[in-house]
Amino acid sequence: MPAIQTKAMTKTYRYTEQRPGLGGAVRGLFRPDRRERVAVDTLDLTVPRGQIIGLLGPNGAGKTTTIKMLCGLLRPTSGEVEVFGHRPAKRGYDFLSRISVVFGQRSMLWWDVSTYDSLLIHREMYALPKPRFDQAVEDLSERLQVQDILNIPVRKLSLGQRMRCELILALLHGPDLLFADEPTVGLDVVAKLTVRNFLAELNRDLGTTIVLTSHDMNDVAALCERVAVINHGRIIFDGDLTALRGRADAGIDADLDQVMSKLFTEAADA
């Protein structure tokens, strides 16, 4: 059984468009102009266990919507989606205990308390025995080199320190699948390298499946054995980086940002 399996997964948003001015507001009350926008369009995706896959695309392409459906935060409008055999939208405990999500621009840590206090809250949420909790905290904090900052209030940590602590929180319960949405956004070069090395070790040592979204092509080149490129809710490429460069008629050392730009230009012209 693969870690992730989707068939024709689609998400459509329905909304009302209001014309400008008071007259438009009044007309909208009696004759609303209803529209639809397809964020994810019949997406088929299979991710084997233990793989690191990069989910790439421009802003608004449907990457985050896809991740939210895969982790159960959104329900697909149509199609099928299974993660480790579970229907994510049901948000069952067995399913939630096997996944975790890290959003680079959103924090799960409590701002005014220490990271360790947030970890204690998550210990209760996942009903972790104390020996397992203590071992996880020791192992993760050592790997991420944050042993000396776990008891400092989160608001006093740097962005790089907070992201490393976010990863400890996300991985405390030992999930089999990690969704990492822009985990290195805003970080300096050293902090980015630390996060990349940690994710690579996590996959190599524990076999954790990782779905990575990033606009930093260095993240992708360093971590992903496979990339799926999404544009307007559809997958326009699925393969390794060598094949991606070949698709864009670029050399093996070609800059990945330029490769992606050419790919999106071709898709727009098609």
Name the residue ranges covered by the structural domains of the chain.
49-98+175-269
- Region 127-136 average pLDDT: 95
Q: What is the pLDDT of residues 166-209, one digit of tens each?
A: 999 999 999 999 999 888 888 888 889 999 999 999 999 999 99
Q: Is the pLDDT of residue 270 over 60?
A: no
State the pLDDT at residue 88.
95
Residue with tokens 């985990």: 183
Range with the lowest mean pLDDT among 93-102, 152-161, 242-251?
242-251
Is residue 92 very low, low, confident or very high in pLDDT (cuts 50, 70, 90)? very high
Average pLDDT, the chain: 88
- Region 47-60 average pLDDT: 92
* 95 vs 160: CA distance, rounded Å: 29
Q: Is the pLDDT of residue 19 over 70?
A: yes
**Are residues 123 and 97 in contact, defined by beta-carbon separation less than 8 angstroms?**
no
State the pLDDT at residue 120.
95
State the pLDDT at residue 244.
82
Beta bridge partners of 13: 37
**Are residues 220 and 212 in contact, defined by beta-carbon separation less than 8 angstroms?**
yes
- Looking at the chain, the whole-number percentage of residues with pLDDT higher than 90 is 58
Q: Is 207 exposed, middle or buried (0-12, 13-18, 19+ CB in 10 A)?
A: exposed
State the pLDDT at residue 243.
85
Is residue 138 very low, low, confident or very high in pLDDT (cuts 50, 70, 90)? very high
- Region 41-55 average pLDDT: 95
Q: Which residue has the higher pLDDT, 20 or 93?
A: 93
Is residue 27 very low, low, confident or very high in pLDDT (cuts 50, 70, 90)? confident
- Region 132-153 average pLDDT: 94
Q: Is 197 exposed, middle or buried (0-12, 13-18, 19+ CB in 10 A)?
A: middle
State the pLDDT at residue 238.
92
- Looking at the chain, the whole-number percentage of residues with pLDDT higher than 70 is 91
Q: Is the pLDDT of residue 258 over 90?
A: no
- Region 54-83 average pLDDT: 92
Q: Is the pLDDT of residue 254 over 60?
A: no
CATH architecture of residue range(s) 49-98+175-269:
3-Layer(aba) Sandwich (3.40)
The residue type of 34 is R
Query: Considering only CA atoms, which of 45, 33, 36 is closest in space to residue 13?
Result: 36
Q: Is the pLDDT of residue 105 over 80?
A: no
pTM of the model: 0.87
State the pLDDT at residue 10.
96
Q: Is the pLDDT of residue 132 over 90?
A: yes
Q: Is the pLDDT of residue 262 over 80?
A: no
